[in-house]
Amino acid sequence: MVLAAGESINSLRSALVDHPLYAAMNTPERVVVFLGHHVWAVWDFMSLLKALQARLTCVSVPWVPPADTEASRLINSIVLGEESDDDGEAGHASHFDLYHRAMIQAGADTSPIDRFIASLRRGAGWRQALAEAHLPPFVTDFVELNLSIATGDDLPAIAAAFTLGREDLIPRMFPPLLRELAARHHGRFDRLAHYLERHVELDGADHGPAAGKLLASLCRTSGDAERAMAAAESCLRARLGLWDGILASFRPPLAGLPGP
């Protein structure tokens, strides 16, 4: 089915691409704050991706052939890049790991996401682990929405959250801005610049078109398309809330009031 994003979705995507957050990240301190919040979006992006792979391929034993081999190939090609990409250091890493390394190089605090991942490895449910992370509400709300979709049973909604709600939302001006910042601060943001360049390159050349094709193939009825568009709109609104929250955290507190 041919999908057309509605006016609301296009408006939200424009608001995100043109968001003042990007221009406001003009100091190392603000970039570090951004990294500490945005890492959660990087993590749950991988969760949406793996939710699609689990439903479109066979990841259990005994193996059975996937019902849709074209969808299986599309999602596996995306997983290959996102979960084991060139790390810029003669090795391979997931995009989450690339981002985590960038945080360490920049001096950002990784302890909240580290504790969260450790809790998941120990078998804690994601809701419990998230509650124990004590994150700002704008981060918690964003992750809760995406994980609720990822762990649900609505395949078109998951695909829409991944494709329309997450891909292709970084404006072209942002990677050059980060490269300039990296050059001015003695390589402190080199790994972040590499992450963004890989993300933009893969998204534009491969993953964005592949994800769009996958979403169209999964929306076989008008009901599928309606649920997909509703999920995409919810995810975009949550991303806008995340961006607004991060931007607000940059601003100095008013006199006599505590900071965020």
pTM, rounded to two decimals:
0.90
User: What are the structural domains of the chain?
Assistant: 11-58+66-250 (1.20.910.10)
Residue 217 near residue 70 (C-beta atoms within 8 A) = yes
Tokens read off for 73: 């190939």
How many other C-beta atoms are found inside a 10 Å radius of the C-beta of residue 188? 17
| Per-residue confidence in pLDDT tens, the chain, 260 aa | 556 667 899 999 899 988 999 889 888 999 999 999 999 999 999 999 999 999 999 999 999 999 999 999 999 999 999 999 988 888 999 999 999 999 999 999 999 999 999 999 999 999 999 999 999 999 999 999 999 999 999 999 999 999 988 766 766 656 777 777 777 887 888 899 888 888 877 766 667 778 888 899 999 999 999 999 999 999 999 999 999 999 999 976 444 334 33
Whole-number pLDDT of residue 187:
80
Exposed, middle or buried: residue 173 (CB in 10 Å: 0-12, 13-18, 19+)? exposed
- Beta strand 85-86 with 92-93 is antiparallel
Please state, in angstroms and rounded to a whole number, the distance separating the CA atoms of residues 201 and 147: 26
> What is the per-residue pLDDT for 259?
39
